[in-house]
A = this chain, B = another copy of it.
Amino acid sequence: MDVHAPYRYEQLADLVVDMIDKGTLSAGMRVPSVRAISEQHRISIATALQAYRMLEDQGILVARPQSGFYVSNARHAAFALPSTSRPRAKASTVSISGVVATLLEHASNMSLVPLGCAVPDVGLLQSKRLDFTLARLARQHGSRHNVYSPPRGEPGLRREIAKRSMRMGHALSPEDVLITSGCTEALTLALSAVAKPGDTIAVESPTYFGLLHTLEVLGLKALELPTDPARGVDIAALARLLGKEPVAACVLSSSFNNPLGSAMAEADKRSLLGLLSEHSIPLIEDDVYGDIHFGRDRPKPFIALAQGAGKVIYCSSFSKSLAPGYRVGWIVPGAYSQQVLARKLAFSLCSPVLPQVAVAEFLASNAYDIHLRRVRRVLEENLTRMVRAIEASFPPETKVSRPAGGFMLWLELPKQFDSRALFEEALEHGICFAPGDVFSASRRFRNCLRLSAGHAWTERIDAGVRRLGKLARAQLGR
């Protein structure tokens, strides 16, 4: 096992974050050069660079060619980071589907200011090229594609997804990939392949409420893990828990988890893989936000770091970055290939053909990389604007996450704050957001909330965030 005291580069990175938090370094400022810092701290240039690269991966710094490292615009020092969660060290049954259904209903209500739903909107995604590809395929080859797809999915799409896996540092063959109805089906296939009703699944805390809902439907229990808003799951805490609680599987975000946007360092990911492998616990990873990184490189998912050792099931989709309406996701089931295929046949037999071949053709054209660059830039700008609006309106005690990717912010308010009451009040003002307690099986985080910046930034959205901040202030002042 590999749970360690902080390395030198981690200590340096902590120091830089601390300086940003305290306002010594502010957004847009150049940080000391690698050479200067290595001399100051008497560390090697390689170590200094490693620290900066990690902060870049986390979106805290931005590298500018021939110029050096700068504090990212998305980073702000005005508000502190939310605290690391401390859930109780015991698995709990999940009973959340009622509140999830209510939230989804409000989140899809177009008349509300859309801060509630975790999907970029159509105005931001600009999917015209993909839609035209679909149109041409339907017109020219519609009948040919009016058949059942092979159960694993269209070979052309599986090939393109396998080709793209090089970008995340892991070579896949088309045979490794099975197409799903979004990441939702992928996660459900994975969970039902590795666990049976009554089993316990370890999850981040807070975590995506859709995952909690799936645990409930499958009759699984949730063991919530202490999770840091920047660095993700606390590995030492996980190590202690695994000694006590039987865990059937662990579900983690590869990068930029929903709602925290946290990003584990590669070294931490490796430690975690070692720990799980030691206990023979399969890891199900959800990499649906991995393509929306603000740092230079795409963070490596667990599957790339495991390199065949340990049991990793990889799940992702194009819903957050390209085409939520197409419902194209995929799973790399590894050792669970037969179990996952059997479940895919029973759950949906196969996925619709035309959306699959359209996405395959879009990927083959390299248009996706150009598309991603634009989407990342827009989403990072949205987050910067949202942080500004929060700082201008929310109570000064508010803590805000600093995601290095994705498009969600997690806000923590003082303990007595009631985000449920704010939710009801906000709906009356025509604003939707996600109250904190839907992100926890044990209904923690009532003093927290998630805001989504997935919509093209408008006056209406800006005003919505500010109104929310005022309502929060008023509640705390009462």
Nearest Cβ on chain B to A87's Cβ, whole angstroms: 22
> Could you tell me if A121 and B135 are in contact, using CB atoms closer than 8 angstroms?
no
Which of B132, B150, B346 lies in contact with A218, CB distance below 8 A?
B346
> Could you tell me if A128 and B143 are in contact, using CB atoms closer than 8 angstroms?
yes
Nearest Cβ on chain B to A145's Cβ, whole angstroms: 5
| Most B Cβ at <10 Å: residue of A130, A353, A354 | A354
Which residues of B lie under 8 Å from residue A319 when comparing CB positions? Answer: 148
| Most B Cβ at <10 Å: residue of A136, A145, A182, A348 | A348
Closest to A137 in B: B135
> Could you tell me if A108 and B150 are in contact, using CB atoms closer than 8 angstroms?
yes
- A343 sits at the interface (CB 8 A): yes
- A131 sits at the interface (CB 8 A): yes
Nearest Cβ on chain B to A111's Cβ, whole angstroms: 15
Q: What's the Cα separation between A327 and B145 when bound, in Å?
A: 12
- A11 sits at the interface (CB 8 A): no
> Could you tell me if B148 and A108 are in contact, using CB atoms closer than 8 angstroms?
yes
- A210 sits at the interface (CB 8 A): yes
Q: What's the Cα separation between A197 and B244 when bound, in Å?
A: 28
Nearest Cβ on chain B to A116's Cβ, whole angstroms: 12
> Could you tell me if B142 and A135 are in contact, using CB atoms closer than 8 angstroms?
yes
- A239 sits at the interface (CB 8 A): no
> Could you tell me if B121 and A142 are in contact, using CB atoms closer than 8 angstroms?
no
Interface segment, one of A55-63, A71-79, A96-104, A379-387:
A96-104
Per the 8 Å Cβ criterion, residues 142-156 of A in contact with B are 142-151
Question: Interface size on A (CB < 8 Å)?
Answer: 67
If A131-B142, A138-B135, A326-B352 touch, whether A346 touches B214 (CB-CB below 8 Å) is yes
Per the 8 Å Cβ criterion, residues 351-391 of A in contact with B are 351-355
> Could you tell me if A184 and B348 are in contact, using CB atoms closer than 8 angstroms?
yes
- A399 sits at the interface (CB 8 A): no
Nearest Cβ on chain B to A353's Cβ, whole angstroms: 4
If A101-B341, A121-B147, A342-B101 touch, whether A348 touches B135 (CB-CB below 8 Å) is no
Which residues of B lie under 8 Å from residue A126 when comparing CB positions? Answer: 143
Q: What's the Cα separation between A235 and B317 when bound, in Å?
A: 47
If A138-B132, A343-B217, A352-B325 touch, whether A127 touches B108 (CB-CB below 8 Å) is no
Which residues of B lie under 8 Å from residue A327 when comparing CB positions? Answer: 348-352
If A122-B146, A138-B134, A148-B324 touch, whether A210 touches B345 (CB-CB below 8 Å) is yes
- A90 sits at the interface (CB 8 A): no
Nearest Cβ on chain B to A61's Cβ, whole angstroms: 33
> Could you tell me if B142 and A127 are in contact, using CB atoms closer than 8 angstroms?
yes
> Could you tell me if A182 and B138 are in contact, using CB atoms closer than 8 angstroms?
no
> Could you tell me if B213 and A345 are in contact, using CB atoms closer than 8 angstroms?
yes
> Could you tell me if B146 and A131 are in contact, using CB atoms closer than 8 angstroms?
yes
- A316 sits at the interface (CB 8 A): no
- A185 sits at the interface (CB 8 A): yes
- A42 sits at the interface (CB 8 A): no
- A347 sits at the interface (CB 8 A): yes
Closest to A143 in B: B122
> Could you tell me if A213 and B342 are in contact, using CB atoms closer than 8 angstroms?
yes
Which of B119, B143, B149, B192 lies in contact with A131, CB distance below 8 A?
B143
Nearest Cβ on chain B to A108's Cβ, whole angstroms: 6
Flag A64-91 by CB within 8 Å of B: 1 or 0 each: 0000000000000000000000000000
- A303 sits at the interface (CB 8 A): no
If A184-B349, A351-B327 touch, whether A144 touches B122 (CB-CB below 8 Å) is yes
Which residues of B lie under 8 Å from residue A442 when comparing CB positions? Answer: none
- A196 sits at the interface (CB 8 A): yes
Q: What's the Cα separation between A147 and B325 when bound, in Å?
A: 4
Q: List 14 A-B contacts (CB under 8 A).
A: A132-B138, A138-B138, A146-B323, A146-B326, A181-B352, A182-B349, A184-B348, A184-B349, A217-B346, A218-B346, A325-B353, A347-B347, A347-B348, A355-B355
CB-based closest 5 A-B pairs = A131-B142, A181-B348, A217-B346, A135-B138, A146-B325
